[in-house]
Chains A and B, each alone.
Chain A
């Protein structure tokens, strides 16, 4: 069994094999693999015995279930009104400038993917962004550079 099969099997053991188990299993795959490949969706379809088309249709509905290859760290910058008012664009420019990628792209070393997202629920401390599950608020371009540098250092040490 290859790693994807093992991963899906373990997730199915944990969450069950009914239709209600689909979302937790999809989330589990994304957590480890960062995105849902065609292969992983077929494995899920096989394991739960639901059509592959349904797995795809369900996964693509949810913004956090990526179906395109993504980096180790997915940056989601909030673009809804208060964050937009408080300088989201400067934050985006800073990230784009530092990582040399545009929105929707992944760095060549597959470390960072840059995306926009909708209201994260930190409007009183805007602008805000998520990096994977971690939240960062009251951002400024300097703060963003610090945060990303820290992430890069952590990686370099591995």
Chain B
């Protein structure tokens, strides 16, 4: 059955495409120097009033993060750009670093100015090593600018080596400190005790580019886009069964139904919002789901790193879940019981149900297990497995069994 957008669809709910992120007006030096003329407190207020939230998936208010770090009396501070993009279906940060890396460096320098940090790092995942030559050139140019303008901020790249969990902020810092990427206990949080135990701002690549937009155009321009609690725009990485795979900057708050009309292939059975750590929304719930942080249009509200994977009716949801669980089982750091053992139990469990070795009711035990993982896992990885597990099993139970 083909799904087509009704001809009389109201336009107010349609996807709104914007072009702030990749717009390159070659003005980074100007923006940097003018921003550095302003008072740090003003800049913090600007960020806070924009209501920008982290774009890596966790959605922490950026202004507050920079404010907390700035308030610390510690002399030594750091700014880290989290470029360990690894969530399945996400590829936006790579594009940013290829096309507009200057914005990232500028944002980091401004953050350094506001917080007092003199050192910035970009933690770049090992799988993106091919970006190094170009990035190094950009950093050299940036260094030159800093020397010319006496700006005391040095940026260097730290390469990852193939570990999804290093996208978790404390695991990332452990990795930079030369250790296994095992997440730390929180509290203390990075703004208090981060890299080398010092106050650290750690932000996703896209988040930093949004701060550039805000400092260039002002908070209001950003705030006026999107919806309540989910201001501004977001990059969406679209892939799967879609005629238009790619990266799109869209206002937040869109309805998933509109998204499917735009990007579906006419036969969309389900959409995975937010990668393997996100939620699978079945067709019947498209109209109830909106993409944003807190609050809702109607129905479900789905925070996200922007990964949107579309599945059509040819896809087996069992295979999808099986793929996600294998991913988590391998990428878990292995430190804490609920995640290390839980991921294994979930994967083996659904296979056993499918093969008939365990009864269908075992799925309910596994659902309870994911609840426990949600409450007790030490970091976001273990805590988020429940999202895709429960949304897939609850909406496609038949496919798990037969």
Indicate whether A142 reaches chain B with its CB closer than 8 angstroms: no
Known: A22-B178, A27-B159. Is A124-B127 also a contact (CB below 8 A)? no
Give the B interface residue count (CB, 8 A). Answer: 52
**A119 interface neighbour in B89, B178, B241, Cβ under 8 Å:** B89
8 A Cβ contacts from B162-191 to A:
162-164, 175-181
Q: Are A121 and B180 in contact (CB under 8 A)?
A: no
How far, in whole Å, are A117 and B129 apart by their CA atoms in the complex? 15
Indicate whether A123 reaches chain B with its CB closer than 8 angstroms: yes
Indicate whether A26 reaches chain B with its CB closer than 8 angstroms: yes
Chain B's nearest CB lies how many Å from the CB of A56? 11
Chain B's nearest CB lies how many Å from the CB of A67? 12
Residues of A within 8 A of B130 (CB): 133-135
Indicate whether A6 reaches chain B with its CB closer than 8 angstroms: no
Chain B's nearest CB lies how many Å from the CB of A81? 5
Give the A interface residue count (CB, 8 A). Answer: 36
Of B295-303, B319-327, B342-350, the segment with at least 4 beta carbons within 8 Å of chain A is B319-327
Known: A63-B163, A123-B309, A135-B130. Is A81-B178 also a contact (CB below 8 A)? no
8 A Cβ contacts from B264-323 to A:
272, 276, 307, 309, 311, 315, 319-320, 323
Chain A 106-146 interface 0/1 with B at a Cβ cutoff of 8 Å (1 = within): 00000000000111111111100010011100000000000
Q: Are A82 and B330 in contact (CB under 8 A)?
A: no
Q: Are B245 and A125 in contact (CB under 8 A)?
A: yes
How far, in whole Å, are A72 and B180 apart by their CA atoms in the complex? 26
Indicate whether A21 reaches chain B with its CB closer than 8 angstroms: yes
How far, in whole Å, are A61 and B128 apart by their CA atoms in the complex? 18
Indicate whether A24 reaches chain B with its CB closer than 8 angstroms: yes
Indicate whether A23 reaches chain B with its CB closer than 8 angstroms: yes
Residues of A within 8 A of B93 (CB): 121
Residues of A within 8 A of B307 (CB): 123
Known: A20-B178, A121-B127, A123-B309. Is A81-B163 also a contact (CB below 8 A)? no
Chain B's nearest CB lies how many Å from the CB of A107? 22
Chain B 92-106 interface 0/1 with A at a Cβ cutoff of 8 Å (1 = within): 011000000000000
- Considering the complex, give the chain B residue whose CB is closest to the CB of A63: B162
Q: A62-B163, A84-B319 are in contact. List 19 more A-B contacts (CB 8 A).
A: A27-B126, A57-B180, A62-B161, A62-B181, A64-B126, A65-B161, A80-B88, A81-B88, A118-B86, A119-B89, A119-B90, A121-B127, A122-B91, A123-B88, A123-B237, A124-B239, A124-B246, A125-B245, A126-B239
